Structure 1
Amino acid sequence: MLQLATLIKHHATFRPDHPAVVFEQERLTWRQFEARVSQCARLLSSLGVRQGDRVATVLTNCRELLEVYWAVPSIGAVLVPLSPLLMASGLASLLRDSGAVCLITQRSMAALVDQVRDELPALSADRVLMVDGAIGAYPDYAALLNNCPAGQADPVTVCQDELFNIMYTSGTTGLPKGIMHSHFVRSMYCTLFASAWRMTPESVVLHTGAIVFNGAFVTLMPCFYLGARYILQRQFDPEEAIEIIGRERVTHTMMVPAQIIALLESPSFSPDKLASLEMILSLGAPLYQEHKDLLNRHLPNRFYELYGLTEGFWTILDKTQSVRKAGSVGSPPCFYQMRIVREDGSDAPPGEVGEIVGRGPSLMLGYYGRPDLTEQAIRDGWLFTGDLGYADSEGYLYLVDRKKDMIDSGGVKVYPRDIEEVAVRHPAVSEVAVFGVAHEKWGETPVAAVVLQANASVDAEELRDWINERVGARYQRLHAVQIVADFPRNAAGKTMKRTMRDAYPSSMPAEPHA
């Protein structure tokens, strides 16, 4: 038997008065947090939720979401976290696909739920709970919680291979797929990441992004496993994050690159204010080398980088290697293996670019209801990532790009990241996204969308020429630069390149690479 929800009861028993969860003005000890988790479990049981049933959440960051995360597996049910940025059709599709019998959400989502509930016969109105007050036919979560009968929920035995959650991909490269994680896989998140991040029960962990995405579990699971303090920000704000780090003496935090850049560019940024940090983890997308170097100068021996897929393969760049292996995203941790595979299926030698393939104990059970896609992704126990990279002679991984983002310009492979690393060196550039657009002669040609630094002044043509003078090859020269206020991003903070590419004019006039 392996039941992760016993972690909360363990900490409530053996360190009941230690701070557990901090959310805005709320501060809960392990005893208080366990009481809320147990009450939530009793509520779900009283609503008829049984072992194996799916419980979906559509919530922004809040304390209630954290307690649901631990209550659902405690009764053997399956957690299905969904993004509050979903539109009606997407919400209906994922609720239907997962077979959710209960939904915990917020009043701002009520109109969308009204639109789709007729399509979801398993989801009755009394099982759609609102954390911020009843509305229409949907009851108030807090009121039900307070009126729930006292006592323990029926004990449930959960085997290690049973489902803990279904995590839907963000859909940046296609329709969302439901990734199945077992209790065993989530236990690997607890133990392996606790070791990798050098966390202890005295650590203080700050999470600034949306916890509905799998990246949040990279620090959430080891923190709750160890009984450390978990601080959740309602939504990312760099000035507030800096203030929280200083006030709470935060030791560990993880951010996506856009958040790290915002932190570095904040007028409140100061190494002294962040002196308590032992880890700054970047994940979700490659962080530009320019910003890695800046972090390592201002806050030495704190920077980690994670390359990982929700499907279950990771590499970690440890803080002790972040300068020596600048440009790398690290090496596979213990119990993991990595290969770089050519198009013909053979293994590439060090230095040669190929598809990144890996395996380890965090590998998903598969895509829910899609054995066909599972067979494409996992072959002979190896996960084929769809990402391109190479390994050096010491086994450290260097990302090149996603296969789907690679630009084929006149038969030449152009990797957007190579151009982005040049563009971000311009003093006016804050962020850049390079993507391919159709071209009459070359098939595709690279274009860059750029977010400028605050108060920066440079026109698009001047910036394009500056970049084109510095790229390493003629075929990397940009056809055009678009200056934008911000990028379209999903709720995980990842840049939606495909959205920008699709919005760009569908054809380009023929022009030579030169």
Structure 2
Amino acid sequence: MGSPISFFSLSTRKGRSMDIGILLPHHARYRPDHPAFVCGEKRFTYREFNAYVNQLANALLARGLTKGDKFATVLPNCTQLMAAYWAAAKTGLVIVPSSTMLNEGGLATLLENSDTALVIAEAGFADVLDRLRANLPGIADDRYVLVGLEQERRGFVSYDDFVGPTGEENPPEVSIDDHDMYNIMYSSGTTGAPKGIVHTHYVRAMYCTIYATCWRMTPESVCLHSGAIVFNGAMLDLMPWMYLGAKYILHEKFDPEAVIADIEKEKVTHIVMVPAQIVAILNSPSFDPKKLASLEMIHNVGAPLLLEYKHRLNEALPGRFYELYGLTEGFMTVLDKHDAIRKVGSVGVPAPFMEMRILDAGGKECAPGEIGEICGKSPMMMPGYYKRPDLTEKAIVDGWLHTGDAGYVDEDGFLFLVDRIKDMIISGGVNVYPKDIEEIVIQYPDISEVAVFGVPDEKWGEVPIAAVVPLPGAEIDASDLVAWTNSRVDAKFQRIRDVVVMDTFPRNVAGKMLKREMRAAYTERNSEG
């Protein structure tokens, strides 16, 4: 478990104070028996979780990795993935979390681009990694680690054998500077090719402190996370959890009934979800506000929650709804729960220490109510895209992050998100924002989700198309929905041309719907027809 001397040496180790690696050993020393982490049937106190993480940290170092080396994970939500985050923090290694949903080519690109030196993957990826290893000379043959490997396989080491020989003591002291890299998060690719977004220890320390304050978290808080923690949105509660020494419950996969049951059983206080998960909770047959009474925060992230669901949530569970607008690159606004009804439809104001401007195409600041590009400054801002200074220079201009999103502020400075500029439809020379149409379509009976996107049109340039997912058991008449919607939109250019009824929307690992895939499929299908 580590002697008092080893605990002390880590708590006073050399380096800057924004070293997030000192957090876990701090709690293991000063509140060792407090519940720390729950995943499935496994429950850890802080003493136990520190020892569990130390085994992995020491194993990584024993394989020859040193501060600044990168190791990638290809894991679903599990105890090993959580351990990897904090093993990286302790050792000065750089973690590169990747999704189990990546195709083979995407995984090859990520591993090569990130200069990965070791990979920890789910056993089911053995065949894929076998095919890739010839083109990954940076990963030695003894650095392919598989979680859940039941039978010995040449060229791989099981996770249990990898960590087995190592001790539970804290790893050797390493000096961490504010600017030392902690992770490379590859963008989810909703708008194009993924990019490696670098976060330093300082940036993640800002996540710890700023969001702990924004969410009103305490050491007695209980967080539940059921989305993939390879998604940067998971850091909104994961970092404050470890900073405060609270309790964190991780679900291996999202199941609305399991989420509802655990909130009631574990007295969960804070939960972060994407819109699709909130919708699933509200539409679940198990939904009962009494079961969720312990919640102090229901947080929406990833995309704005449509007003229809915001109203339902605020009526059923008042005084709990938070919404965050932000980019992994490092600028965010927060809609506080006390403003959720007063400023319904807004995504809030810049978090503490952050600044925001709305700029027009010429770089001039917009007046209240005028739509422009959202730009921001933040202590959470990435130092850049990994090995892509060209893209970094385009994204960060004179210290301001250009988000590529369109929005406006009201007279009080609250931000209203209009849409991604790339998703904007230009029809007959007029800017058409899909979100305006989506807010109308969602009001049609028996619709669970809606996505509006533009497709090419010879006369108008582009026209809007609506894709919808019905509630379970419901049937949607596409022609009736087109007529119903077009009788309610504010302007003729907002009228939809067609409706596509889908069982589910294509999504990335973060749960964000992929409009570009819907647009491509629709265009291909209609060109063939």
Q: Which residue among 7, 21, 31 is the counterpart of 2:37?
A: 21
- Are 1:182 and 2:200 matched, yes or no? yes
The partner residue of 1:93 within 76, 89, 109 is: 109
Alignment partner, residue 249 of structure 1:
267
Q: 1:50 corresponds to which residue?
A: 66
Q: 1:77 to 1:440 in 2, by over 3 A?
A: same
- Compute the displacement of 1:136 (Å): 3.3
Partner SS for 1:446:
strand
Q: CA deviation at 1:74?
A: 1.0
When normalised by structure 1's length, the TM-score is 0.98
1:147 aligns with 2:152: no
Q: CA deviation at 1:347?
A: 0.5
Asked if the contact 2:19–2:205 (Cα under 8 Å) also holds between the matched residues in 1, the reply is no
2:480 corresponding residue in structure 1: 462
Q: Secondary structure at the match of 2:375?
A: strand
TM-score of the pair, normalised by structure 2:
0.95
CA distance in 2 between partners of 1:312 and 1:106 (Å):
30
User: How far is 1:96 from its partner?
Assistant: 0.5
Q: Please say if residues 438 and 508 of structure 1, whose CA atoms lie closer than 8 Å, have aligned partners that are also in contact.
A: no
Alignment correspondent of 1:264: 282
Q: Which among 54, 73, 79 is matched to residue 38 of structure 1?
A: 54
Matched, 1:122 2:171: no
How high is the sequence identity, in percent, across the aligned residues? 53
Is 1:78 the counterpart of 2:94 in the alignment? yes
DSSP-derived class of the 2:164 partner: helix
How far residue 108 of structure 1 moved from its aligned partner, in angstroms, is: 0.9
Tell me if the contact between 2:183 and 2:198 (Cα under 8 Å) persists in the aligned partners: yes
Paired with 1:129 and 1:430, the residues of 2 have a C-alpha distance of 41
After superposition, give the CA deviation of every residue in 1:38-92 in whole Å (9 maximum; x if it has no partner). Answer: 1111100000010100011010000111111000121111111011111111111
Instruction: Tell me which amino acid in the other structure corresponds to 2:103.
Output: M
Q: What amino acid sits opposite 2:234 in the alignment?
A: A
RMSD: 1.1
Give, in whole Å, the separation in 1 of the partners of 2:225 and 2:39: 10
Change (3 A) 1:118 1:326: same
Please say if residues 51 and 168 of structure 2, whose CA atoms lie closer than 8 Å, have aligned partners that are also in contact: no
Q: Which residue of structure 1 aligns with residue 27 of structure 2?
A: 11
- Unpaired runs of 5+ in structure 2? 1-15
Counterpart for residue 222 of structure 1: 240
1:395 to 403, 406, 413: 413
Aligned to 1:512: none
1:90-123 superposed Cα distances (whole Å, 9 cap, x missing partner): 1110110000001011111111111111111011
Distance across 2 between alignment mates of 1:399 and 1:140: 47
Q: How is 1:443-454 mapped onto 2 (pairs within 5 angstroms)?
A: 443-454=461-472
Aligned-pair CA distance for 1:126: 1.2
Q: Please state whether the residue corresponding to 1:147 is helix, strand or coil.
A: coil
Query: Of residues 226, 234, 237 in structure 1, which corresponds to 2:252?
Result: 234
CA–CA separation in structure 2 for the residues paired with 1:191 and 1:135: 44
- Residue 434 of structure 1 corresponds to 452
Q: Partner residue of 1:477?
A: 495
Q: Could you list the per-position Cα deviations for residues 283-323 of structure 1 after superposition, in whole angstroms to 9, with x for gaps in the alignment? A: 00110001001000000000000001000000000000000
Distance 2:405 2:526 in 1: 27
Q: Report how far residue 143 of structure 1 moved.
A: 2.0
Give the aligned partner of residue 411 of structure 1.
429
SS at match of 1:437: strand
CA distance in 1, matches of 2:478, 2:284: 25
Deviation at 1:506, TM superposition (A): 5.1
Give the distance between the partners of 2:196 and 2:39, measured in 1 at CA: 29
**Partner residue, 2:507:** 489
Between stretches 197-206 and 141-150, larger displacement belongs to 141-150
Q: Report deviation, 1:438.
A: 0.8
Deviations 1:461-510 (A, max 9, x none): 1111111111111110000001010000011110000001011135979x
The match for 2:215 is: 197
Deviations 1:174-201 (A, max 9, x none): 1110001110000000000000000000
What secondary structure sits across from 1:5 in the alignment?
helix
Is 2:300 the partner of 1:274? no
Deviations 1:250-287 (A, max 9, x none): 00001000000000000000000000000000000110
Contact 1:215 1:283 in 2 (8 A): yes
Matches of 1:399 and 1:152, distance apart in 2: 46
User: Is the Cα–Cα contact under 8 Å of residues 87 and 112 in structure 1 kept in the other structure?
Assistant: no
Determine the C-alpha separation between the residues in 2 that align with 1:36 and 1:75. 14
Counterpart of 1:384?
402
Aligned partners of 2:37 and 2:49 also within 8 Å: yes
The answer to whether 1:284 aligns with 2:302 is yes
Q: Is 1:373 aligned to residue 391 of structure 2?
A: yes
1-structure distance, mates of 2:20, 2:148: 28
- Residue 458 of structure 1 deviates from its aligned partner by 2.6
Q: Secondary structure at the match of 2:227?
A: coil
Corresponding position of 2:80: 64
Q: What is the CA–CA distance in structure 2 between the aligned matches of 1:99 and 1:293, rounded to whole Å?
A: 46
Deviations for 1:151-192, whole angstroms, at most 9, x for unmatched residues? 542210010111011100011111110001110000000000
Q: Given that residues 24 and 233 in structure 1 are in contact (C-alpha distance below 8 angstroms), is that contact kept between their aligned partners in structure 2?
A: yes
Structure 1 Cα separation of the partners of residues 60 and 394 of structure 2: 36
Q: Secondary structure of 2:350's match?
A: coil
Would you say the 8 A contact 2:33–2:45 is kept in 1? yes
- Hey, what's the Cα distance between the residues in 2 that align with 1:300 and 1:136? 56
Contact 2:466-2:498 within 8 A present in 1 as well: yes
Deviation at 1:349, TM superposition (A): 0.3
Tell me, yes or no, if the aligned pair for 2:395 and 2:402 is still in contact at 8 Å: yes
Establish whether residue 311 from structure 1 lines up as the match of residue 335 from structure 2.
Answer: no
Equivalent residue, structure 2, for 1:138: 156
